[in-house]
Amino acid sequence: MVRNARPPNVLMVFPRFNPNSFWSLAPVCEVWGARAPAPPLGMITLAAMLPKGWNIRLINRNSDDVTAADFGWADMVMTGGMLPQQDDTLVLIDLAHSFGKPVVVGGPAATSSPDVYRGAEFLVLGEAEGVIEDFINAWLAGAKSGVFEAPKFTADVTKTPIPRFDLLKFEHYLYVGVQFSRGCPFNCEFCDIIELYGRVPRAKTNAQMLAELDALLAAGYRGHVDFVDDNLIGNKKALKRFLPELHAWQRKHRYPFQFSTEASMNLADDRELLEMLREANFFAIFVGIESPDSETLISTQKKQNTRRSLADSVHRIYAAGMFVIAGFIVGFDTEKSAVAEGMVDCIEATSIPVAMVGLLTALPNTQLTRRLERESRLLPFLAGAGDQCSAGLNFVTLRPRRDVLADFRAVLQSVYDPAAYFARVRHVGRVLDRPRLPETIVWTTVLKELRGLARTLWAMNVTRPQLRRHFWATVIDCLRHKPRNFEYMMTLSVFYLHLGAFAQVLIKDLDRQIADLDAEVGAEAVPLVPAA
């Protein structure tokens, strides 16, 4: 049966993230007057792939509520996202069904674990570019259900349309994402990116990328743009062809955007690339350091982080004008009992304020999961319990589990002590060498920043008086030594409003888990330092 000629109403709903997650950043959003960190780039890209006449309504459940009227309007509900959104995706499937609406689920979580979402009528698995046409044709032909799976790693991203930025309310977000490439050439055992997007990075064309930035600019957006690539430097050749054009575009428009991204540590070895990123106005890079222990890095197939001084590498990135956010993992098989000390030393030596320290997690469909399964050590993965910071270690550990948790706790306790955190911010404030760039003053942005500054002062002095002296010591140090880094020192200080509180929540939960394990084995509980 062919469906009637009226173009369908598509309700796209981006599920809520688990609030118990490192990236929830609620207090940071509060300071900057945002409702969520970032808009759903995947969904607005998918929206651009649907037939022109289809009516689209986008609701981000992290910033808005979906109503009965929205469901009443819809002919179909499209949803899906990442693993920390799994619970809400399942809630949305039930909700849509209670209104009698068919559901289409896609995105990385459904691609990794399709069985979890079997309640939906349609599953669109893999990269949408390779398969969305099949779904559209099936829908138009009257299909009531179906599973559409894209061939792996072959989607031609040079054909990806410009995301529908017009569907966004920019004022709801801290930053906006764009994507240049997919895939990463490395082979880290725990990584699901290479399983989803492959190890041969595919990049958009320069013209395509600049057209996206043109569209973002024309839509009125200014400020922080995140390249959401899992490793922006995965295809260095393509990136080095693009960055000079990005630099020229920024110069022509008087630097309306400042960029952040994720990259592998070998970025620090390439001075030319660092200079190009600096010129294009990249200000922050997320790097997966994972472990300071070479044996662990080798066994987890992260060799790109070995044979180097991590502190020197990170300082080269600071000198190029970008501050570093880094991921660290506790729980590898090869870890020694001194892992906590080594990790804390590494974080201090690199002076990385925002260190995302988590537990090793066997994500669905990874080499790690397959190995642990073979070794009969795999435990259920509970996507709803949080992220790798709040709910990792879903396997039988080689070291006593209690010791691994106690090491994780020790790292959190040490690196998120406010004195230690703000001391690292002060160090970065002195060594970060931001370029001097001409900028256009946008009064709406200035007003937003003034409001953010007022809320920061309120939070640091009134609602969290315990941070007052650390904060002011950082402000004074920055103004004395490098006042032009003030904006970045404020950003890193505001991060602590989330990280300090989040660390305390994790520590409390770890204390409970450790006490339970002690009780289980009847061991004499080692007294733990109470959370500050």
Q: Where does this chain bind ligand SF4 (CB under 6 A)? A: 184, 186-188, 191, 193-194, 230-231, 264, 288
**CA 320/CA 532 separation, integer angstroms:** 36
For residue 51, the minimal CB distance to ligand SF4 (Å) is 33
Q: Are strands 76-79 and 223-227 parallel, antiparallel or unpaired?
A: unpaired
For residue 282, the minimal CB distance to ligand SF4 (Å) is 18
- Nearer of residues 104 and 239 to ligand SF4, judged by Cβ: 239
For residue 188, the minimal CB distance to ligand SF4 (Å) is 3
- Nearer of residues 15 and 331 to ligand SF4, judged by Cβ: 331
**CA 488/CA 323 separation, integer angstroms:** 9
| DSSP 8-state symbol, 275 | H
For residue 273, the minimal CB distance to ligand SF4 (Å) is 16
**CA 286/CA 270 separation, integer angstroms:** 16
Q: Which two tokens stand for residue 516?
A: 């339970």
**CA 14/CA 59 separation, integer angstroms:** 6
- Nearer of residues 263 and 432 to ligand SF4, judged by Cβ: 263
- Closest to 182 measured CA to CA, from 323, 392, 354, 41: 41
- Nearer of residues 188 and 510 to ligand SF4, judged by Cβ: 188
Q: Across the strands, what pairs with 60?
A: 14
- Nearer of residues 264 and 493 to ligand SF4, judged by Cβ: 264
Three-state DSSP state, 378: strand
How many CA atoms are closer than 13 Å to the CA of 108, on its beta-carbon side? 20
- Nearer of residues 95 and 317 to ligand SF4, judged by Cβ: 317
**CA 525/CA 405 separation, integer angstroms:** 14
- Nearer of residues 228 and 499 to ligand SF4, judged by Cβ: 228
For residue 192, the minimal CB distance to ligand SF4 (Å) is 8
For residue 387, the minimal CB distance to ligand SF4 (Å) is 15
Q: How far is CA 341 from CA 335, 420, 522, in A?
A: 12, 14, 27
How many CA atoms are closer than 13 Å to the CA of 166, on its beta-carbon side? 7
- Nearer of residues 155 and 363 to ligand SF4, judged by Cβ: 363
For residue 288, the minimal CB distance to ligand SF4 (Å) is 5
- Nearer of residues 174 and 363 to ligand SF4, judged by Cβ: 363
CA–CA–CA angle 439, 442, 445 (5° rounding): 110
For residue 189, the minimal CB distance to ligand SF4 (Å) is 9
- Nearer of residues 265 and 475 to ligand SF4, judged by Cβ: 265
- Nearer of residues 121 and 230 to ligand SF4, judged by Cβ: 230
CA–CA–CA angle 66, 72, 78 (5° rounding): 60
For residue 218, the minimal CB distance to ligand SF4 (Å) is 32
Three-state DSSP state, 1: coil
Three-class SS of 234-273: HHHHHHHHHHHHHHHHHHHCCCCEEEEEECCHHHHHCHHH
For residue 105, the minimal CB distance to ligand SF4 (Å) is 24
- Closest to 15 measured CA to CA, from 109, 147, 132: 109
Q: Which two tokens stand for residue 23?
A: 């990236």
For residue 263, the minimal CB distance to ligand SF4 (Å) is 9
CA–CA–CA angle 156, 160, 164 (5° rounding): 165
- Nearer of residues 189 and 518 to ligand SF4, judged by Cβ: 189
For residue 23, the minimal CB distance to ligand SF4 (Å) is 16
CB-based contacts of 456, cutoff 8 Å, min separation 6? 31, 490, 493, 494
- Nearer of residues 38 and 194 to ligand SF4, judged by Cβ: 194
Q: 428-467 burial string, b = 16+ CB within 10 Å, else e?
A: bbbebebeeeeeeeeeeeeebeeebeebbeebbeeebeeb
Helix-strand-coil split of the chain, %, nearest 5? 50, 15, 35
How many CA atoms are closer than 13 Å to the CA of 42, on its beta-carbon side? 21
CA torsion sign, 145 to 151 to 152 to 157?
negative
- Nearer of residues 184 and 415 to ligand SF4, judged by Cβ: 184
